[in-house]
Structure 1
């Protein structure tokens, strides 16, 4: 086994054998490298151990340790393989004594979570266009100036009500809760901002007190928690309807941007104008179409008269044609009838013979000697007796 393999194996054993744990000690030999990493030792009165806290982890720390600081480090055991040096890789660093606060924080957080105070279903929606905004904070706080500046920039027309209270110091949690209760009782605002600037966990601890959390939970006004900086989390953040990373962000969440509203109004105005212009064009086209179809009464009468004259002409023409055709047919039939008229035949010297029964005799075989017949001529008739029929 080579030295590299030995150190790699030792590092694996150490990492697997020692999960994350807390160790307390005094900072010494602190070095802040150009890379951003921190190198230091933790010691007590009997021993010391080398530590490293990489830039990716110490950037989340809102304070900088110095020589002699009593700290608590959450870390794991590793071996710097290149030198075979035993060291602690620190994931989180806090001042000594803060562990008790974190324990109290987690205990209260679990209690309120079990009661359902953090349920998303209980969260109230922030109004889109609040008519009045309330702020719970210290009148002397820099956070208040940031909030007021942001509100004035975004929507200066919205009235603001400040519910003053100290936000730092022993025993001020009750005063903060009273201010929240007062805002809820007066019910004059549409949204309530609870804010203060950043600070250490001790500075922000009043917003981790149960009395403040329950005041927020019982508030009928939609609440925004804007306590500390982006990396700071308090119990208020979990109970409030909305959490903002900073007081300025809380002000932005509470108000619509005037510029955004104006831009939206311009977009809606342009869209409405286009839609109205489209409708007007459609109606104008329909009106033009109807106008082209609309005819004055005189024109309508003239058109009907012309149409009636045309119909009358066609009717007369049709009747005349039919009359002419009937007359022609009548003449033709009359001529045919004239040709077939027996009287016309008689005028040419012919006669027709009838027996005593009035029947026309067309053949000599119908007669016998002694039969009486009547012969009709063109003019007059004569009776005769058949002497001898001839075939």
Structure 2
């Protein structure tokens, strides 16, 4: 209890004595304790997340952050960490990280010292695919110069695929439609899962040992990257590269690409497309044979047309060079001069006629009765000429019609028969017999004469 104040300026003890001892830590000490606690209690962990804020220091150390939808963690990969694949670090990539949780004392923030890096999910497969692709390409397995052409007329092929998949059904359907005679040697194998790559490689080697083949087709239907991964294995690529027979790869759909596609001699987008490529030579040859007759007729017609055109051109050139042409041109000039002379005469007569008509009109206006009488006479004369011309035209057309009728009668079969000829027909079909060589012994014939018909049977022909 404090003593009472002696005066108004005495306020007692402003800071009473502490009852217990305080444990005061500096920031550095507290940070070191937290660091030891994290390293001892948490230690080495695996963390998954998306990389962001990636940066590389001049010292060779790499700094970045991994994050998810709720939190983020600072990470550092020191230059001396040899097990970690530094090429996998990239902003936006999802990774699995192994490391030791610690505290960076100068900033007072906890961080992960990374020791191993793996890609998460399909990203790991894609990176493995790209790495193997680059390595095999550097070794020359994809070189286009070593790729062999397929035989144009394949007779026997080897098929490497699953015996129960959709791919073999598509291949057999297309081959049966385009080249049913093609022999297929099937080596069944798994096309996905553990051990599928080794089975595919063994099947390729087995078909090469068999030997009596024109090519090998490896195929399967579509699927995910994991489903198609057997065709991305190095053992399959090496088997295709070592094959003495040309290899066609048809894996997945058109958008799918595998390592086997790059190594194979020919890549097909689908199993059906591969079957069409293999049978293209035979199928095209069959189509060529089917179209040969039409093409020959077309070429023959074209040749005849060209020859007719050449003949017409030569005829025209000969006509232009003929001596009569100059005579015709002289006659044409004479006709032109005669026509010009006639036009001059007609123009003079027309002018004089116009002058006389003007005088007559002037005279008619003076004596209307005389003009009326003249017009009446002209009308009567014109009417008579019209009737005469009409009767003359009728007689002329009647004579022409009779002449044509007489000529038509002379050309009719009755006139031919009247001159002693006959017409022979097949008694059953009624077809005309024009060639004695086409008459068979014993064939019944009907012969038409000018009067009546005669039935006969042929004994032979000369």
- Larger helix proportion of the pair: 2
Which structure's CA Rg is the greater one?
1
TM-score between the two structures when normalised by the length of structure 1? 0.46
**Bigger relative contact order, structure 1 or 2, given CA contacts below 8 A and separation 6+?**
1
